[in-house]
Chain A
Amino acid sequence: MSEETPAPLWEVFIRSKRGLSHNHVGSLHAPDAEMALRNARDVYTRRMEGVSIWVVPSAVITASSPDEKDSFFDPAADKPYRHPTFYSIPKEVQQL
């Protein structure tokens, strides 16, 4: 084993163009935030894939658990009236 402590892991998010949100593209190791940004530029935007980059320490992300996905997302499952297709509208009405 190597003696070095591995540099922390960062999650990388890229805005591909103005008007779109940042999307997760992957992760990388870097000793600090500035290096993480520079590395992210070199690894994930070699072909102008982005106009803005966020890097977030992986360790600070809290994620929902796949094990409780049924109960966790349950509250939305029985509320079809939240969708427009729930409502019947007379045919004469063309657009609503």
Chain B
Amino acid sequence: MISDPHEAEFQALIDSDQRIEPRDWMPDGYRRSLIRQIAQHAHSEIIGMQPEGNWITRAPSLRRKAILMAKVQDEAGHGLYLYCAAETLGVDRAELIDLLHQGRQKYSSIFNYPTLTWADVGAIGWLVDGAAITNQIPLCRCSFGPYARAMVRVCKEESFHQRQGFESLYALSHGTPEQHEMAQDAVNRWWWPSVEMLGPPDTESTHSAQSMAWGIKRFSNDELRQRFVDMVAPQAVVLGLTPPDPELRWNEDRGHYDFGEPDFEELRRVVSGDGPCNRQRAAHHLAAHDEGAWVRAAAAAYAAKHPATSAAA
């Protein structure tokens, strides 16, 4: 039973599918849970710039280069929308970035894998952004208003990300035999991490039940995973590429694709810091932050010298 009148009103808003706004009363757990999830999501967007940024200078054409730059700029924008949503809960972005640097807040496991060839950029767009979109579309109806509004923006922009990846992989797959082989190799390496990035199985997911009750999460990890596989399996056929899962096949009775058991032990390992690139990603972010310190200091000094243009100083 809920005895606190504040809590009763809060739960009534959630149960009638209304949105909670920053200045509304909310349980501490709801606030903490959202800060954790939104910060983790923001960090993922920012860290996610690294694997693809790796290929900007080596994109095979000016067209691909312009597309990749626009995509990486979008990831920066998405990170900022999300930090802004987190800040409405009473934390400061600088605190969240400190927590990331101290390893006390995480980001998506998927960005700890390396981008070894140009085809990886296409595979990331098709598979990683495909999985991200599957996860993010229900978040547009999340019970916390600022998070939901940020996700609407992100999803609108994200749809080009997946399409450009598909187009790029399609071009490689239908190119020379070497290009086809490179595309297949990228799919071999990115398939399982993408299936895994939707989170641990429902039986082991620590935050899911409460998040569902609070309207933060609308579908379970396993439901989202099924939705993702159902979306990309037929696309793989059009691409002419074979997912590295011998158990992947259409199940007429279920009306869904069957697929093999993801390696959740690997997911756990990568999330807890032992993926191929965890240390490199963290070190790069910290270095970029430190190397930018003089720019922030100069901008602050300029603002202090010209108080007329900086009312907030």
A residues contacting B by CB (< 8 A) are: 1-2, 4-10, 26-35, 42-44, 46-47, 57-60, 63, 65-67
- Residues in A neighbouring B25, C-beta threshold 8 A: 66-67
A46-B77, A65-B23 as given contacts; A8 in contact with B297, CB under 8 Å: no
- Residues in A neighbouring B93, C-beta threshold 8 A: 6, 29
Interchain residue pairs with CB less than 8 A apart (5):
A31-B300, A32-B306, A46-B77, A47-B157, A57-B311
- Residues in A neighbouring B87, C-beta threshold 8 A: 9, 27
In the complex, number of A-B residue pairs with CB atoms less than 8 Å apart: 82
Q: Which residue of A lies closest to B301 (CB)?
A: A31
- Residues in A neighbouring B92, C-beta threshold 8 A: 6
Of A2, A8, A57, most B-chain CB atoms within 10 Å: A2
Chain B stretch 44-90: residues in CB contact (< 8 A) with chain A? 70, 73-74, 77, 80-81, 84-85, 87-88
Residues of B in contact with A, size category? 35 or more
Would you call A2 and B84 a contact (CB within 8 A)? Answer: no
Would you call B94 and A33 a contact (CB within 8 A)? Answer: no
A26-B150, A57-B311 as given contacts; A4 in contact with B306, CB under 8 Å: no
B107 to nearest A CB, angstroms? Answer: 19
**Is B253 interfacial (CB-CB < 8 Å)?**
no
A63 CA / B22 CA spacing, docked (Å): 12
- Residues in B neighbouring A31, C-beta threshold 8 A: 296, 299-300, 302-303, 310, 313
**Is B309 interfacial (CB-CB < 8 Å)?**
yes
A30 CA / B313 CA spacing, docked (Å): 10
Would you call B23 and A66 a contact (CB within 8 A)? Answer: yes
| Interface SS of chain B | helix
- Residues in B neighbouring A47, C-beta threshold 8 A: 157
B8 to nearest A CB, angstroms? Answer: 15
Would you call A46 and B74 a contact (CB within 8 A)? Answer: yes
**Is B98 interfacial (CB-CB < 8 Å)?**
yes
A4-B293, A9-B87, A10-B312 as given contacts; A66 in contact with B94, CB under 8 Å: no
Beta-carbon contacts of B146-163 to A below 8 Å, as 1s and 0s? 000110000001000000
A26 CA / B84 CA spacing, docked (Å): 7
Would you call B299 and A27 a contact (CB within 8 A)? Answer: no
Of A7, A26, A27, A33, most B-chain CB atoms within 10 Å: A26
10 new A-B contacts, CB < 8 A, other than A9-B312, A32-B310, are: A2-B94, A7-B299, A26-B85, A32-B309, A32-B312, A35-B299, A43-B80, A46-B73, A66-B21, A67-B25
Would you call A4 and B94 a contact (CB within 8 A)? Answer: yes
A42 CA / B80 CA spacing, docked (Å): 11
- Residues in B neighbouring A27, C-beta threshold 8 A: 84, 87-88
A66 CA / B92 CA spacing, docked (Å): 22
